[in-house]
């Protein structure tokens, strides 16, 4: 199985923590769990064409909200990321952080792109 590595998971969780602490999206603070959901959703939207095969493997589903006022994405979970998708997510997080003046607090080895 081409599942992401533990070091990739640790890296993107630390990065999401930095983003959540330092960037106010919509002029408000978000906890790391909420920021992770926001990041994964936007990452998927930004990469849906480039990584269509990877996203298709994850078999995401959509459902209407209970009150039919919107759509809920089901299954957007990083635990199902492949090595390739996790690497791309980390690069995407670097770009998001750079655009929003995030200072990274966790040093990580350069082998996060490997399994």
CA-to-CA distance for 22 and 51, rounded, in angstroms? 29
pLDDT tens, per residue, the chain with 115 residues: 578 888 899 999 999 999 999 999 999 999 999 999 889 888 988 998 898 888 888 766 777 778 888 777 776 678 788 899 999 999 999 999 999 999 998 765 555 555 4
Model pLDDT, residue 99 = 96
CA-to-CA distance for 21 and 30, rounded, in angstroms? 8
pTM score: 0.79
DSSP 72: E
Beta bridge partners of 64: 71
Helix 6-22 vs helix 83-99: crossing angle, to nearest 10: 20
Beta-carbon neighbour count of residue 12 at 10 Å? 25
What end-to-end distance do the CA atoms of the chain give, in Å?
11
Model pLDDT, residue 115 = 46
């Amino acid at each position: 199985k081409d599942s992401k590595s533990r070091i990739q998971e640790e890296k993107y969780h630390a990065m999401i923590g930095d983003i959540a602490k330092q960037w106010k999206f919509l002029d408000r603070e978000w906890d790391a769990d909420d920021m992770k959901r926001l990041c994964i959703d936007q990452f998927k939207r930004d990469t849906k064409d480039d990584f269509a095969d990877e996203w298709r493997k994850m078999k995401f589903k959509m459902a209407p909200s209970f009150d039919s006022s919107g759509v809920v994405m089901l299954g957007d979970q990083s635990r199902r990321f492949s090595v390739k998708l996790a690497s791309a997510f980390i690069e995407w997080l670097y770009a998001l952080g750079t655009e929003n003046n995030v200072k990274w607090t966790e040093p990580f080895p350069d082998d996060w792109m490997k399994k």
